[in-house]
Structure 1
């Protein structure tokens, strides 16, 4: 590469490092590199000599450059200068031959001293036919463009290839571009290419792109992994290269200028079965990438080389005949999906076969049917999906109908086999234990009911509940192997069923209705379950994200009316982050029997009413209290409460949702001891006194955000001098620090249990807080059996409101 000689100069003249200013060693142009290095270059019409800093004029009558000069420096720049062309016929060297093909000829350029009378040069791109190798006799032979492990018996016609690409090993034909049918027997004009994962298109090598590349394309992926843009210097990935690919759903740009791979990765994943727009800009070592108009992500290649040599074809949709992929790209398979636009350096590519288009070769290309959606105008944000012969709308929550034209007041969700609801994942809340209660009514014997995984490719930890031939199965993997709990009997269709899963560590217990519980124990030594991805109910948008250990690959069909996770009832519709094709289940709640001021709570085929905040009747009570931060609190100082909060150990369970990042949530004081729970800079902090030491202990939980306006549950324990915090059933935090107590002696009139805050004077005298919390408190349980009915304590509250939801 051009910079090799500059590196030689740097190694022999270390005092010149970084000198592109006054006294630069470069004869013409000098570029500062990173890490204090520099690179010499020449103006148009000149090429760099072998010494790395002087220049030779191309049409000069001066002494010509050496062959080494041309090989290492000049010829690469001549080929890739903008608008420059080179005539391979003007060069010749002894003992170098030209190889020809009956389809697409390849000329191997050979170089001698260029003629002064010719200033323009031309050359043809690399050959796209099968590589020529030699057998044991030394006679060249052609290799197949598609390799298979065992013989593939189909005759796919001229230029076609037989492949055993599917999981059953059934042979299929990958037809050359322009041909189609089961045996490539039909003429087929491709307007918009779809790639199968084993197909690709080839175009001539990039020109004028060795320093700068500006690229935009639109793709519609059907899987989260695949190469869709690849070109470079050699077909074994040993030299320079540039690649765009999908890896676990993220778009990655990988490039190597000759001294190390640089990687730029999008922050968001692509949208499956939807059109995505990718923009890429590369200038020398630096590159930035943008997906769907999102954030520009930047990166840089390694080392000092800044130019990329392009001698191989530009492959679109797959890697073509390139080898050595997994070491450099981590992905070896091509794209599964469609591409409908490709623009590189202001040139828009035509996908058809030359001469109608610009493609020189192609295999396994199908016609993209996604454009059928142009004839299906989905309304209200619905997304169009295509099948083999049709296109249908995937409707967002609250809408149904063929075109999502019907507004639906959802009460009890119904799933039709193409539906799903999406929620925040369980993340770390299910690490050690998980309690899951679901009430559902199936109308089909197979289907995924609930799923949460660790990775978007279905690997690593997961948990899933599903129906398999009428049996209820719960499968999970803690990282050392999958185990499945299966019900004793099939469940009846079109009837309501209640399923409970209780998992602690490796042990899980599945209970279905009144059947005997089924216990299973996961293999290995791992005991924790990490589920950072979204949780799905009723199905998933794509089964590629589901572990292959889940024994069904279809979505649930039927109704789901209740989901309870770790003791908390999930508001199935209100808490959903998104979903599709969810309609109403036939249920009395659909008729809104509780009126406009009540909420219908389904209970199998019946219901009860719960009144909205501010309304009362014989079925309803007021909602939980809300606090606004200043002089807003509940106080309980009756004898029973004082007796409970003076106990040791003291265990407090409280459920709340907050919008403030600082403030007192709870304060308990009896005699000389106290316990407080509050937020300090967004972190949840437990403080308590140790009487015999006169000290104040502080336990901080800062790994979970609890002031996000969502409901959270906290367990705080004070046991002598020890304390712990558990948030949302996650890991227990026991790290504690000791502080000098600055708390004055509590007067009897200040004793009691305060919720949400305190009045201003005692708050600042007795605690380290200036305000109470802003938010709601729904449940408060002390020592497991002392349940405070906060709703009915409004007579002892001060300046409080009613929580809206």
Structure 2
């Protein structure tokens, strides 16, 4: 018994002077003391005891308590009593020698304790024992207030150093200077191919860090990193789950520890030759856990890491738990450095502890440590303290866009969109479209067989189009898939029409003298003979150009593209714009032959219908609608008379003249909320009822002209909503397109793609009940039916009427009831 007390007394003294302070919230004392023996053999632990490996045990305390300086007793965290962690103890030299020199089973394993012993072992040795312990809580001798063996700077100091060393974190070549000016906080780096690029601070992006960017799912370039505050309460237990989309098989994506030179404790999760590796050091040797499978490149991988003291396991993509263990006796990790994600930050000494030194190339979209889900944005919107070279990951966007009917997801700077095959449209390609007049939205194209040798010496090209943007590639045919060699291209550049071509010795470019207007139909003609090309647009003066060199022939074996191109890398660099056309195309003629735009297309993407009367199939099943600018003619099949299929839009006289639709499909559409109405008309009167809708519920909707202003009226819960549009003249006997929306208590009017007007007000009493359905051009007993709001219908024509985007009313060849309806003179 006496011997046992002596041993325990010495152990308590040694634990007192050799304790390690962990970085807990209030700098509570935590000791890493291991004792020889087993827990069930009379250990002095007050609360908890853990058997360690190699015949050792360790004391610990329950939550709410912390380990005393004696290494085995516990005290409450919120008590005022202070442990004796800073007390200096003088150890009697002879006492220690007599009781411990030859007693190996009572050796104390104490982290951060330093032993320097000079001893006498027999008559011929007269040296004296010298035993020195360095208390980890003292400011000198290598102990830091945070519990590590060296004094490290505070987190604020770390991040300041990181900010000033941004260039050092990336693989900057020394052979030549990096020439870019990257704005405040940015640094210029040379990438793998020694192309200069800007490494921008978190929250900035663009070629020169000139843009503000929002980071939700970060993408790392191999030179990037994010810094978060040091881990807290993780010295014994850490559980990490993350989702990773790597683009390369090597890189650090999780690193933190005790010192910035990797000399102390650390914990790292990385990719090495495609395998996930977890490396950690509790202070007495590195442990390595390596997955049995490799990650999936350019796909999302799910990784789970669990560490408790020496033991750890890693799981990749729901596979096997691969286990491992760190070396030595110490089981706690001190975290004083920032948590670096995606790279090593300013950490040095990587080559001595890790098999890779570069950062992750790829995306991370989920990071959770000990049940805390990290937000990647810069404080205060997120939790990141610093970061460099971070881009927003676009790969994750397509996981939220399930394209249908064979559509392909395409990402850009802001979003993800579906590229729909021919015959389908909508955000998810969910709408089947009967294409009549193709419309291109900037991500569209149609593909045809190339001209080959058909344009060797001469080319005659005519196109009818209506642009909605000033820039866009309209037509392209080339010689090679890399954009080199012969080509011809027709495109819009800042509103000007340009025709460019190369016969093999340099490009010639013809450009119109004036811009063309948007939202209107234009006719373009290109004539080329040998080196000479002539460009004509509408009534502008022709523009001529002669290509350089002596070659006179044009060879175009690649596909011909209309409305854009699937890959602008295949478009000649001589083409001055790099985006697709936005607008409508209704006629293409090449060398005298009119091309069936849809029938001859070999493929395409994101082509929808242009708002045009042909979309409503006015020529019926026995005729073909031929677009002619805003109008059309019908071409009947053999054996059918023209009068059966060739009719123009309906015209109205203004007096007892109307169409009445009351079929079940129309009535079901009228009650929808919101209700979106798109109508094209031309009228010559400043007053008159254009549309009247009664769903049978007692409410109504009207669209008409009142003293020259276009007015939308409808009722909601016995209140009348009125929207007045008086900034555009619409009674000029010219064609106008109007969009009217009923959305609860908010009404919207938009004329010719101009500004949107919204207004709410309570107006006249409710009109008397009218017949159910939709009236176009007027209504029976106008004054009574509308409660005095209108006295007659409109005098003019209505060519196109669409409800809720895809419900087209058949105005020509209709089956609706009609009265005094004529045919519009186009």
- TM, length-normalised to structure 1: 0.38
